[in-house]
Chain A
Amino acid sequence: MLAFFRDLDRRWIFLAMFLAIAIPLLTGIRFPEAPSKMVRNVFQEIDQLEDGSDILLAFDFDPASQGELQPMAAAFTRHCALKKHKLYFMTLWPTGVPMIEQNIRILATEFPDYKYGTDYVNLGYKPGQEVVIQSVTSEGNLQNLFSTDNAGSSLKSHPMTEELGDIQKMALIVNVSAGTPGAKEWVQYAATPFDLKMVAGTTGVGAPALYPYIPNQLRGILGAIKAAAEYEQALIEKFPDLKENKNSQEGLRRMGPQLIAHLLIIGLIVVGNIIFFVDRKRGTAS
């Protein structure tokens, strides 16, 4: 048995991982989620704002990480729309533009009362990475960089951006980021120097490194798909009508395959270590 595992072709491990994800997806296994303290803190930051507050949604991610981040971006968008906040979308990544469009489609389909230019606007993308943050935070400088929105309409033609000089007036910055530039840069160049309130959603890879910013510089983080699922659960608890909206439960659906895959990984680590210790005891470990 041990010899079988010791010489195991890695393609069997790949197959096991494939099945660990495919079977829960095909059977639709779901598990209940309870929002953790961190997720509740992030939730409260958006929820406690007065209805109609100005929120900057900076979606700095790409297709490679949308699997993890799109559920939380969608949850943020829905929450802000349910609170009737004014939404300003922008991105520091060239591939972030279609990611914003995906979430704007949510507004178009689920919130037909939301009008472009009055309730939400898409500023789009500008090259320059974190220097763009400095341009949009600098007093009165935003329209020097963004003279038009992503569709090519003048910012002066929209009621919500007519007088928009910079983002210092934003009640909250909501950043969903997959790497650099992303949440760290927003904390360094916007939240910290201008004392702006900010929450972030990041990948599992990036989340641990942002914890030192909590709570002074960053009010909270949603780290990885688990946090997205908990946030969706918190949304359903606050807005029970969302239970009927299957599109708002993407993160919750993914926790089934997530759990099985986690157990597989743990099993593989345990088996690998058993082989290691047995071999070491026999004096044959390499």
Chain B
Amino acid sequence: MNRSTIISVLLILLGGGFLIFRASTGRMGQSYARVSQVNAEEALQKQLTDLDDKLAQQADKQSKDSQAIQASRDQLQQRINAVTGQTWTTRTPVAPKHRGEKDVEFNWPMTIGLWISAFGMIAILSFLFQDNILYKLTEAILIGVSAAYAMVLGFWDGIVGILFAKLTPGMVRETVIPATPLEAEPELMFLVPLILSGMLLMRLSPTGNWIARWPLAFFIGLTAGFRLVGFLEADFVQQIQATIVPLVVLEADNTINFGATLKNTLTVVTVFCCLVYFFFSIEHQGVVGGIAKLGIGFLMITFGAGFGYTVMGRIALIAERMSVLFDDWLWLIDPTGKRIGLF
């Protein structure tokens, strides 16, 4: 056994022992949920009450508005009759300190999920020790899940939510988005993006992938046109405008504000020197070379600041993950009082 393997085995044994001890005493990794019953009839009754209130507020009971509300009310009453007896259960995650309250119960799926996520996190962190099969397995799962997640959201929010809602609003209203406006009519113009999308999917075909060039051209052309205006206005014109600042800033009483003067002067000088550095049409020699060198210096300061912020950002990510492991799973810390009064 080499040293790495010995250390791995020791870590697993120690860690495993600790987990078994803590879990067996009920002092870690438990999830609780508030259970509530939703009654479909009651949910619709609330809407009926709202409509009754609206009707009561109408001065003229024969007006068009009143008739429309009455029609909606009649429709709603029919819907209430159709859902009589329909109920379902919702489970909302709550902090463990609520255990013992009415409607709060230990939740097995969330608890198992918590342990799966904890072991998944440890599997990924194990890469720091050495590359191993657990890390590769977890990575493979993450790739699969993330691709499917994006596709599911693209389907429900894009394909169904926009395309089908425009092309077949009636069908969408009867099935998945009942809130689709009643007055919505099929917009046949959206056959064009449907056809383009079909052509885009031909990219997967070995022989037909040239067909995908047309929608890709649409994609790229639209993006190019869109970005041209956006970048020119926000990143060019406005930036130059923001650089044209007074090099000597005077207060109301005509005295020099040295702080603002220094800031403005340095800003203009820095922008100028950096731009000279990026201007490669003139050889960087002599005066131009000197200014370009100054520009490099300023850019190094810029990148140094960027590096400092990057380090700060990365550390915050691991601090959050470790906080989740110590708090939600291991129950070693409780900074937000989720388990007050539990033990």
- Using a CB–CB distance below 8 Å, which chain A residues touch chain B? 11, 14, 17-18, 21-22, 25-26, 28, 64-68, 70, 94-95, 97, 124-128, 130-131, 134, 145, 147-148, 152-154, 156-157, 185, 187-189, 192-193, 203-205, 207-209, 212-213, 216-217, 223-226, 246-247, 253-254, 257-258, 261-262, 265
Q: Is the CB of A126 within 8 A of B336?
A: no
> Are A152 and B177 also in contact (CB < 8 A) when A124-B157, A125-B157, A126-B158 are?
yes
Interchain CA distance A208-B234 in the complex, whole Å = 17
Q: Is B67 an interface residue (CB 8 A)?
A: no
* 27 A-B interface contacts by CB (under 8 A): A11-B128, A11-B129, A25-B319, A25-B323, A67-B317, A68-B313, A70-B320, A94-B150, A95-B149, A127-B157, A147-B165, A147-B180, A147-B184, A148-B177, A152-B177, A188-B233, A192-B230, A193-B233, A204-B309, A205-B313, A208-B309, A209-B306, A225-B316, A253-B335, A254-B320, A257-B315, A261-B319
Query: Smallest CB–CB gap between A116 and chain B, Å?
Result: 13
> Are A208 and B302 also in contact (CB < 8 A) when A127-B158, A156-B181, A189-B230 are?
yes
Q: Which residue of A lies closest to B179 (CB)?
A: A154
Q: Is the CB of B226 within 8 A of A130?
A: yes
Q: Which residue of A lies closest to B154 (CB)?
A: A127
How many chain-B residues does the 8 Å CB contact rule pick out?
Answer: 53
Q: Which residue of B lies closest to A20 (CB)?
A: B315
Q: Is the CB of B310 within 8 A of A246?
A: no
Q: Dominant SS at the A interface? A: helix
For window 302-335 of B, CB contacts with A under 8 Å fall at 302, 305-306, 309-323, 326, 332-333, 335
Q: Is the CB of B162 within 8 A of A126?
A: yes
Question: What are the residues of chain A within 8 A of B234 when measuring CB–CB?
Answer: 187-188, 192-193, 213, 217
Query: Smallest CB–CB gap between B44 and chain A, Å?
Result: 14
Q: Is B9 an interface residue (CB 8 A)?
A: no
Query: Smallest CB–CB gap between B332 and chain A, Å?
Result: 6
Interchain CA distance A141-B15 in the complex, whole Å = 57
Question: What are the residues of chain B within 8 A of A193 when measuring CB–CB?
Answer: 230, 233-234
Query: Smallest CB–CB gap between B322 and chain A, Å?
Result: 6
Which of B57-65, B76-84, B238-246, B247-255 interfaces with chain A? B238-246
Q: Is the CB of A203 within 8 A of B311?
A: no
Interchain CA distance A192-B238 in the complex, whole Å = 8
Q: Which residue of A lies closest to B308 (CB)?
A: A204
Interchain CA distance A213-B238 in the complex, whole Å = 8
Q: Is the CB of A148 within 8 A of B161?
A: yes
Q: Is B259 an interface residue (CB 8 A)?
A: no
- Looking at A17, A18, A156, A212, which has the most chain B CB atoms within 10 Å of its CB? A212
Q: Is B222 an interface residue (CB 8 A)?
A: yes
Q: Is B224 an interface residue (CB 8 A)?
A: no
Question: What are the residues of chain B within 8 A of A265 when measuring CB–CB?
Answer: 311, 315
Interchain CA distance A207-B162 in the complex, whole Å = 33
Q: Is the CB of A246 within 8 A of B335?
A: yes
Q: Is the CB of B230 within 8 A of A188?
A: yes
Question: What are the residues of chain A within 8 A of B174 when measuring CB–CB?
Answer: none
> Are A205 and B315 also in contact (CB < 8 A) when A94-B153, A124-B157, A126-B158 are?
no
Query: Smallest CB–CB gap between B93 and chain A, Å?
Result: 9
Q: Is B337 an interface residue (CB 8 A)?
A: yes
Q: Is the CB of A21 within 8 A of B322?
A: yes
Q: Is B279 an interface residue (CB 8 A)?
A: no
Q: Is the CB of A148 within 8 A of B180?
A: yes
Q: Is the CB of B161 within 8 A of A126?
A: yes
Interchain CA distance A193-B180 in the complex, whole Å = 32
